[in-house]
């Protein structure tokens, strides 16, 4: 009985709560019903039409007047002016390595030493041989002078005097041979000191101290490459050769810029040094050589680089962003934003391109607004809303959000 009484006591409270919930629902429905747009209720396509005709958000950029450099692009490989394999010219034990791997060396700088003692002994032997033969020559010359005096006194046969004169000549020849042998021995001794034949940077050591080295070794001790200055050999298509040769025959130097493999980072600037005398028939390209001072040592032998050769400069032309150029069935065109914020389709004739800038030869003048972003939904006469491209753009009003 107590449980039934408690339930009966709670039941009116539950009914009151349900009545309050229904009252809130009815009030909310009535509000939306009273404030609803009757036109939208009667015409469901009105909302879609409003979306289709709303202005489209676009980013724009102004055309300008300026100078535009004309570049020819090619692929190249860094080639040192000198590449030298340092080898020993005599046989012997390598007793000293005087360079550090990767260091810059000067011409004549000591790189390594080979045990000089065998060659010092050879020098001493040659010097002794020379002294002995010079003494024999001197004695023979004294005898020749004595025989000549006796011959004048008719105290000796002429044949003996002639024989002595021939002996003197023989000793003179022997002395000359001894001197040459001494010079050769000294030359071999000088080869025990290995010096840098050119200026450049030395590579990794190929032979360690204590090893026997020979003049016939193929690998040598190290490799020196000249990196200041350095050259790049690159190629251009044969249809660009006439323009290059016209520019090459002028007195002005042709500037060359070298970029990394991605073509983004500029490594060095130089000038055109030489043009090959024939076109490669297999590739249809012409080889050219550029020289760079390479002061920052950013170019290495056999490095792959992208080349930009400045061929000419267009003066005072109309310049536009490449992002504004659209392509259609009739050629290139742009969307020009007029003062009333509507767009007009303008056919254009484009010229040379440099990065994100293109020369406009016909169709535009400076200080005109061109659409550079958001042109995919545009058409002639469509109203647009110009936004700042540096800021994130809101969704186009013509695109319903979900």
> Which pLDDT value is given to residue 70?
86
- From 163, 191, 219, the end of a domain falls on 191
| CA proximity to 136, closest of 162, 89, 170 | 170
Residue 165 lies in a domain: yes
> Which pLDDT value is given to residue 45?
56
Contact predicate 348/362, CB 8 Å: yes
Q: Confidence class of residue 138 from pLDDT cuts 50, 70 and 90?
A: very high
Domain count, the chain: 3
Q: For all residues of the chain together, what is the average pLDDT?
A: 85
Contact predicate 334/62, CB 8 Å: no
Q: Helix (H, G, I), strand (E, B), or coil: what is residue 213?
A: strand
Question: Is residue 96 scored above 70 in pLDDT?
Answer: yes
| CA proximity to 61, closest of 323, 317, 318 | 323
Tell me the per-residue pLDDT of 46-69, one tens digit each, with 9 for 90 and over. Answer: 555 555 668 888 899 999 999 888
- From 140, 162, 191, the end of a domain falls on 191
Tell me the per-residue pLDDT of 231-246, one tens digit each, with 9 for 90 and over. Answer: 999 999 999 999 899 8
Residues in contact with 58: Cβ distance below 8 Å, sequence separation at least 6, in sequence order: 335, 337, 343, 371, 373, 374, 375, 378, 384, 385, 386, 387
C-alpha torsion 18→19→21→22, nearest 10 = 120
Contact predicate 284/237, CB 8 Å: yes
Query: What residues form DSSP beta bridges with 60?
Result: 371
Q: What DSSP assignment string belongs to 313-341? A: EEEEEEEEEGGG-EEETTEEEEEEE-TTS
Percent of the chain topping pLDDT 70:
83
Domain containing 326: what range? Answer: 56-67+316-387
Percent of the chain topping pLDDT 90:
56
Both tokens assigned to 364: 């535009």
> Which pLDDT value is given to residue 32?
54
Tell me the per-residue pLDDT of 278-329, one tens digit each, with 9 for 90 and over. Answer: 999 999 999 999 999 998 889 999 999 999 998 888 888 899 999 999 998 8
> Which pLDDT value is given to residue 100?
93
Query: What residues form DSSP beta bridges with 346?
Result: 334
Query: What residues form DSSP beta bridges with 61?
Result: 370
Residue 345 lies in a domain: yes
Both tokens assigned to 123: 């020098």
Whole-number CA gyration radius for the chain? 47
C-alpha torsion 136→140→146→150, nearest 10 = 140
Rounded to an integer, the average pLDDT of 111-117 is 96
Residue 227 lies in a domain: no
> Which pLDDT value is given to residue 394?
38
Residue 120 lies in a domain: yes
Burial per residue of 67-78, b for 16 or more beta-carbon CB atoms within 10 angstroms, e otherwise? ebebbbebebeb
Instruction: Let me know whether 174 and 127 are in one domain.
Output: yes
The CA distance from 366 to 320, in Å, is 9
Instruction: Let me know whether 122 and 184 are in one domain.
Output: yes
Residue 195 vs residue 353, higher pLDDT: 195
End-to-end CA distance of the chain: 58
Q: Helix (H, G, I), strand (E, B), or coil: what is residue 113?
A: strand
Q: Helix (H, G, I), strand (E, B), or coil: what is residue 82?
A: coil
Q: Confidence class of residue 13 from pLDDT cuts 50, 70 and 90?
A: low
Query: What residues form DSSP beta bridges with 159?
Result: none
Residues in contact with 50: Cβ distance below 8 Å, sequence separation at least 6, in sequence order: none
Residue 285 lies in a domain: no
Please state whether the predicted TM-score (pTM) of the whole model is above 0.85.
no
Residue 334 lies in a domain: yes
The CA distance from 130 to 181, in Å, is 9
Instruction: Let me know whether 379 and 348 are in one domain.
Output: yes
The CA distance from 212 to 95, in Å, is 9
The domain that contains 328 carries what CATH number? 2.40.420.20
> Which pLDDT value is given to residue 396?
41
Q: Which long-range contacts (CB under 8 A, 24 or more apart) does 160-168 make?
A: 164/140, 167/140, 167/143, 168/137, 168/140, 168/141, 168/144
The domain that contains 126 carries what CATH number? 1.10.287
- From 191, 208, 230, the end of a domain falls on 191
> Which pLDDT value is given to residue 51?
59
Residues in contact with 59: Cβ distance below 8 Å, sequence separation at least 6, in sequence order: 371, 372, 373, 374, 386, 387, 388, 389, 393
Residue 85 lies in a domain: no
Among 82-91, 112-121, 312-321, where is mean pLDDT lowest?
312-321
Question: Is residue 38 scored above 70 in pLDDT?
Answer: no
Residue 229 lies in a domain: no
């Amino acid at each position: 009985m107590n449980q039934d009484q408690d339930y009966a006591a709670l039941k009116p409270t539950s009914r009151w709560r349900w009545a309050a919930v229904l009252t809130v629902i009815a009030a909310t429905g009535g509000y939306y019903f009273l404030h609803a747009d009757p036109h939208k209720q009667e015409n469901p396509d009105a909302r879609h039409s409003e979306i289709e005709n709303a202005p489209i958000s676009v980013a724009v950029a102004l055309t300008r007047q300026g100078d535009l450099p004309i570049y020819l692009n090619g692929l190249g490989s860094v080639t040192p002016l000198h590449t030298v394999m340092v080898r020993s010219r005599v046989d012997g034990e390598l007793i000293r390595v005087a360079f550090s791997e990767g260091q810059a060396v000067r011409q004549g700088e000591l790189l390594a030493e080979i045990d000089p003692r065998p060659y010092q002994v050879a020098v001493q032997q040659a010097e002794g041989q020379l002294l002995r033969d010079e003494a024999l020559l001197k004695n023979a010359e004294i005898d020749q002078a004595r025989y000549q005096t006796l011959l004048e006194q008719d105290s000796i046969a002429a044949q003996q005097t002639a024989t002595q004169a021939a002996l003197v000549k023989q000793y003179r020849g022997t002395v000359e041979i001894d001197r040459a042998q001494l010079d050769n021995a000294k030359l071999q001794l000088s080869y025990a000191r290995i010096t840098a034949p050119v200026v450049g940077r030395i590579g990794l050591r190929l032979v360690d101290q204590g090893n026997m080295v020979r003049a016939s070794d193929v690998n040598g001790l190290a490799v020196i490459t000249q990196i200041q200055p350095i050259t790049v050999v690159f190629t251009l298509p044969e249809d660009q050769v006439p323009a290059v040769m016209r520019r090459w025959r002028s007195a002005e130097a042709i500037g060359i810029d070298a970029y990394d493999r991605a073509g983004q980072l500029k490594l060095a600037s130089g000038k055109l040094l030489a043009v090959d005398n024939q076109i490669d028939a297999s590739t249809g390209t012409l080889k050219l050589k550029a020289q760079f001072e390479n002061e920052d040592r950013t170019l290495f032998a056999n490095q792959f680089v992208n080349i930009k050769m400045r061929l000419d400069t267009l003066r005072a032309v109309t310049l536009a962003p490449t992002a504004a150029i659209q392509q259609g069935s009739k050629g290139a065109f742009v969307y020009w934003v007029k003062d009333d914020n509507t767009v007009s389709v303008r056919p254009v004739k484009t010229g040379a391109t440099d990065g994100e800038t293109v020369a406009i030869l016909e169709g535009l003048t400076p200080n005109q607004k061109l659409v550079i972003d958001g042109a995919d939904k545009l058409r002639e006469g469509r109203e647009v809303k110009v936004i700042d491209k540096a800021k994130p753009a809101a969704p186009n009003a013509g695109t319903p959000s979900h």
